[in-house]
Structure 1
Amino acid sequence: MKKLNRYISFLTILFLFVLMLPLHSSAQYMQISVSGTGEVEAEADLLLFNVTITQFHGSPKTAFDRHKEQESFLTRLLISENIAEENIYTNPVNISPMRRQQDGSGYETRQNVTIRIDDVAQFEAMQITLIENGFVNFSGNFTSSMQKEAADEALALAVEDAKMKAEILAKASGKEIIDIITIEYGTRSEVSPRSATAMYVMEAADSSLLQFRQTITVRERVNVVFTAN
């Protein structure tokens, strides 16, 4: 009987000890949750030329036929400019009923085409040709062939930024960083253009703002949870 009582007492003490472990652990360690940001500038050595082909007419057939005429012209222009097929991105023609305040009811076609080029002079000349042939909806944006490498570097900097912030918070609390519990990361990079000065990135016409060196800023963000004691 005494042995049984001692055994029960031992189990009770062991059970209480196990219950107290999380309390002891939570009293010893703290969690620090911070966000980190990393930014890297990459040389903007490419242009994305966005062209929207659109036609409006009361007859759907007329709107579509006129659209195909512009599509054929753009195709011939891209071939004559030696734009590689892998640098042309397009989607099918969309046609839908539309009511315009000035033109009334009719049908509108729409097709988006994106062209990747690496020559500013070619970009400027193509714009003039398109305007002369009835195109009115297009734009250009800088991008970089090194965007993926810049994003990887920015991501590493974002983690370092989070760690630095956590160490400051831990030190201010009289603690030290022990380990990382979790890292939350969205897969979408933020990219924004930025213009620097005094250097050429591509051949451009004299007295053009595009003669100045162009860069894009690639930005990554992470949320990191650290433990400290």
Structure 2
Amino acid sequence: MVLQVSAQPGAVTADLPINRIVVLGDARFELPADQVQVSVMLRYTDPTDARKAYNAHKAAEQKLIQVLRDFRIDEKDITYTLLNVRKNVDYYPQPGQRREEVVTEQQIIFKLNDLKRYADLQLALIGAGFNQFSAAFGSSKAEESKVKALEKAIEVAREKATIMARSAGRTLGGVLSVRDTEETDPVLQRRYVDTSVRVGYGSEKASVDAGLLDIPQKIIIPAQVKVTFELR
């Protein structure tokens, strides 16, 4: 875990006393990535017939459901947008022409909890006709770590404020306000570690199938709080 701390003097406002100190407390947790979040876009068109586009879309849904079953994706790890059907009109495909098409769109998002199966999943998706998909690393412990990061940020702010108050010959009083000042969503950090300290990689026992997914990825959970303390 890496901690960063910063502080700034507070300005006088109508609802807060003059004798106060405002401190920014930062903390972040680094978690090993243990999930891949995959987003698949279903999009089907027909020049005139909405029913044909819809039927093609529903057929694709069934193929995707089978892929998810094959990879044992839990229902709680699957989310999706509502099916959107619309008619596009392009008045300028070529001078004097007009082109119409009916389009269906839907996004399906799911989590794969076995990183080593991600390559096989991609091949299965492409084999089933799904060419529009993307993915990002994630962590199963991200949500609980957000809470821990906020708690640690507040602790860091108090420690910093205590030092500042003591250095100024003052005593730190109670908390007047606490604000969450930044987003706390996880951020992916690619970190390439020393392979000499990793078991089974870069050694005689290394697998011939070792690849980039064997290099651990880190998910950073950041938090920053602005805490206002009373000065005595």
- Please confirm whether the aligned pair reaches a TM-score higher than 0.5, indicating the same fold: yes
SS at match of 2:129: coil
CA contact (8 A) 2:181 2:226 kept: no
- Partners of 2:210 and 2:157 in 1: CA distance: 44
Q: Percent identity?
A: 25
Does residue 138 in structure 1 map to residue 95 in structure 2? Answer: no
List alignment gaps of at least 5 residues for structure 1: 1-25
CA contact (8 A) 2:46 2:101 kept: yes
CA contact (8 A) 1:205 1:211 kept: no
- Partners of 1:189 and 1:107 in 2: CA distance: 40
SS at match of 2:124: helix
Higher helix share: 1
Query: Residues 80-128 of structure 1: CA distance to partner in whole angstroms, max 9, x if unpaired?
Result: 2332222222233111223468694322211111121122232211212
- Partners of 2:115 and 2:173 in 1: CA distance: 51
List alignment gaps of at least 5 residues for structure 2: 1-16, 200-206
- Partners of 2:208 and 2:21 in 1: CA distance: 54
In structure 2, the partner of 1:216 is 219
1:134 and 1:99, CA in 2 relative to 1: closer, same or farther beyond 3 A? farther
TM-score w.r.t. structure 2 length? 0.74
TM-score w.r.t. structure 1 length? 0.75
Task: Provide the aligned length of Structure 1 versus Structure 2.
Answer: 199
In structure 1, the partner of 2:172 is 177
- The structure with more radius of gyration: 1
Which of the numbers 65, 76, 87 marks the counterpart of 1:86? 76
Q: CA RMSD in A?
A: 2.7
Which of the numbers 47, 53, 76 marks the counterpart of 1:63? 53
CA contact (8 A) 1:41 1:150 kept: no
Q: Which moved more, 1:101-110 or 1:86-95?
A: 101-110
